[in-house]
Copies of this chain bind each other. A is one copy, B any other.
Amino acid sequence: MTDPQQLAEACAEAMFAKDYAAQHLGMTVEAVGPGTATVTMTIDERMINGHAICHGGLIFALADTAFAYACNAYNKVTVAQHCSVTFLAPAKLGDSLSAAAVERTLAGRSGIYDIRVTNQEGSLIAEFRGHSRTIQGALLPEEGQVE
């Protein structure tokens, strides 16, 4: 598979099948490409914290998931090393959040990705920056490996 877009989609499909965390939180991978991903999630009652707004950890989890699908789109296992997030406005029960990841730089095994989280009105909820590191392994079985 040499088409980068097809490869990104195949990686996302393989990852999502085993991504029980993303599944359990009701996330949907709306789109993926080489170094990009958009993931959505609706805020339900189990995501509300003691201040009656969405738990920041779950907003982070959404952004981190978009980051993961963007940086794993090249069929090389890639993990998060360091992430930072700025919370700009609260997310509320029933909000539909969307996290859009873009690659800012990728050099060798290290990458930086920027993820913007917005709500259904387009208001900015959070800005996230993730630093990735490629490690050993591939996401897809190699072609012709099993016969």
Considering the complex, give the chain B residue whose CB is closest to the CB of A107: B88
Q: Which stretch (A1-9, A30-38, A40-48) binds chain B?
A: A40-48
Q: Number of contacting residues on A, CB 8 A?
A: 55
| A84 CB–B CB distance under 8 Å | yes
| A127 CB–B CB distance under 8 Å | yes
- The complex places the Cα of A55 from the Cα of B107 at a distance, in Å, of 22
| A101 CB–B CB distance under 8 Å | no
Interface of A is mostly: mixed
- The complex places the Cα of A133 from the Cα of B30 at a distance, in Å, of 34
Inter-subunit contact A60/B50 (CB<8 Å): no
Q: In the assembled complex, how far is the CB of residue A32 from the closest CB belonging to chain B, in whole angstroms?
A: 12
- The complex places the Cα of A143 from the Cα of B18 at a distance, in Å, of 50
Query: Hey, which chain B residues are within 8 Å of A82, CB to CB?
Result: 82, 84-87, 131
Further 13 A-B residue pairs, CB within 8 A, beyond A18-B52, A55-B61? A15-B51, A21-B46, A21-B47, A21-B58, A22-B49, A50-B139, A51-B77, A56-B61, A57-B57, A58-B61, A82-B82, A83-B84, A88-B105
Measured CB to CB, the residues of A under 8 A from B are 14-22, 24, 45-52, 54-58, 60-65, 68, 72, 77, 79-90, 104-105, 107, 110, 112, 114, 124, 127, 129, 131, 139
Q: Nearest 8 CB-CB pairs, A to B?
A: A57-B61, A15-B50, A21-B55, A84-B84, A24-B46, A19-B50, A57-B64, A60-B60
